[in-house]
A = this chain, B = another copy of it.
Amino acid sequence: MKPAGRIGVKEIAKMTNVSIATVDRVLHNRPGVSPATEKKIRAVIRKYNYQPNILARTLATRKTLKLAALIPAVSKETTYWQAPLDGIDEAENEIRQFGIAVEKYFFDLNDAQSFVRQARKILRNKADGVLLAPHFANDAETFSRQLADKQIPFVYINSDVPGQENLSYIGPHLYQSGYLGGQLADFIGGEKSTCLVVNISRIPDSYYYLLKKEEGFRAYFEGRNKVKILKTDIQKTDYPSIKKELTALLNTHKIDLIFVTNSRVFYVARFLEERGMEHIRLIGFDMIDRNIRHLEEGTIDFLISQKPREQAYRGILALYNKLIKGADVEKQCFMPIDIITKENYRFYTN
């Protein structure tokens, strides 16, 4: 079990003429050890590069940790958040036997107050670590400060809030995903084409994030004046509103390609289908069911996806590693920017 050549607390105790209890004390930086013996013990630990047996530690530590996950609820508007939810469950299954439980809290993407309420609930119920999607930047900041005050580690997924004491951010690199969108548009657009960038969002919720992607998209074409870029911000997230906006635009402009900066691309696909304008190329984000349908039918050419399941999975594991193993965690972890088409989506893993 103990790999050959490895030592344990017993060996350390023997070599330093103390009991294993004392060894344990310095291992966990607990007080009540004289400087002299502490020094002796640390020397041996370093010399033999002692690595604790996590199995034995977990088994002996009866303590079970409680993590909290705060993410948007799956809604009729978007099923996107099903994937992170799956990731949480998957991670929990793997670490449950190590005494970790994960409690899930859901908020409404269209209601900042629901975020605040759930955050309060987490604080009340106590948790040893928190995973959250800081969708409402201001409220997330408040919550983050409260967690930091209580020394509870927390991890952001899906979007970042700069300047916080989060253990880690695990999610997309927005700018670069937009840049990639530009490249894909370039691949499939002809010479001298006109692109339309569509941001669908109730301002100001996640509008900022969409702008980052638009910025990247535009940056790709900078200095290659082959493409003309139009844009529209649609601030309602229901189909009729979107239809109205697009109708107006397409009546007055000849568009070759549309780049939708989030998962709501299926609305645009539906619109193009209804109008018989499938020749317009379409690129969007996220592999939700409704988008896949249009990928299948050929209305959507590319989806860009950033492993929503894995973001949450890794977030939970990061908290576990920090809390149980005391391991370091990368402060920023950008997910791969995956390109999904009709011909590879079946093999994609979130």
Contact surface of A with B, Cβ cutoff 8 Å: 1, 3, 53-56, 58-59, 61-62, 64, 96-99, 101, 173, 176, 179-180, 182-184, 187-188, 220, 301, 334-339, 341-344, 346-349
How far in angstroms is the closest Cβ of chain B from A193? 14
Out of B1, B3, B176, B336, name the residue touching A58 (CB < 8 Å).
B1
A212-B183 Cα distance, complex, nearest whole Å: 29
Out of B53, B173, B334, B347, name the residue touching A336 (CB < 8 Å).
B347
A349-B307 Cα distance, complex, nearest whole Å: 11
**Chain B residues within 8 Å of A188, by CB:** 187-188
A197-B96 Cα distance, complex, nearest whole Å: 50
Kindly report how many copies of this chain are found in the complex they form together: 2
- Among A184, A335, A339, find the residue whose CB has the most chain B CB atoms closer than 10 A: A339
Assess the B343–A183 pair: CB atoms within 8 A: yes
Assess the B336–A339 pair: CB atoms within 8 A: no
A220-B343 Cα distance, complex, nearest whole Å: 10
Out of B55, B97, B343, B348, name the residue touching A59 (CB < 8 Å).
B55
How far in angstroms is the closest Cβ of chain B from A349? 5
Assess the B334–A183 pair: CB atoms within 8 A: no
A to B CB contacts below 8 Å, 13 in the list: A1-B58, A1-B62, A3-B96, A3-B99, A53-B97, A55-B58, A55-B97, A59-B59, A334-B347, A336-B338, A336-B348, A338-B344, A339-B341
How far in angstroms is the closest Cβ of chain B from A304? 9
A338-B335 Cα distance, complex, nearest whole Å: 14
A55-B97, A188-B187 known; A64 vs B3 contact (CB < 8 Å): yes
A183-B342, A187-B301, A341-B339 known; A173 vs B53 contact (CB < 8 Å): no
**Chain B residues within 8 Å of A182, by CB:** 343
How far in angstroms is the closest Cβ of chain B from A93? 11
**Chain B residues within 8 Å of A349, by CB:** 336
**Chain B residues within 8 Å of A348, by CB:** 336
How far in angstroms is the closest Cβ of chain B from A219? 11
Assess the A180–B343 pair: CB atoms within 8 A: yes
How far in angstroms is the closest Cβ of chain B from A176? 7
**Chain B residues within 8 Å of A99, by CB:** 1, 3
Assess the A337–B342 pair: CB atoms within 8 A: no
A334-B347, A348-B336 known; A64 vs B1 contact (CB < 8 Å): yes
A337-B348 Cα distance, complex, nearest whole Å: 7
From A348, which residue of chain B is reached at the shortest CB distance?
Answer: B336
A98-B341 Cα distance, complex, nearest whole Å: 40
A106-B342 Cα distance, complex, nearest whole Å: 38
A338-B339 Cα distance, complex, nearest whole Å: 7
Closest 4 CB pairs of A and B: A339-B339, A180-B343, A337-B344, A183-B343
**Chain B residues within 8 Å of A97, by CB:** 53-55
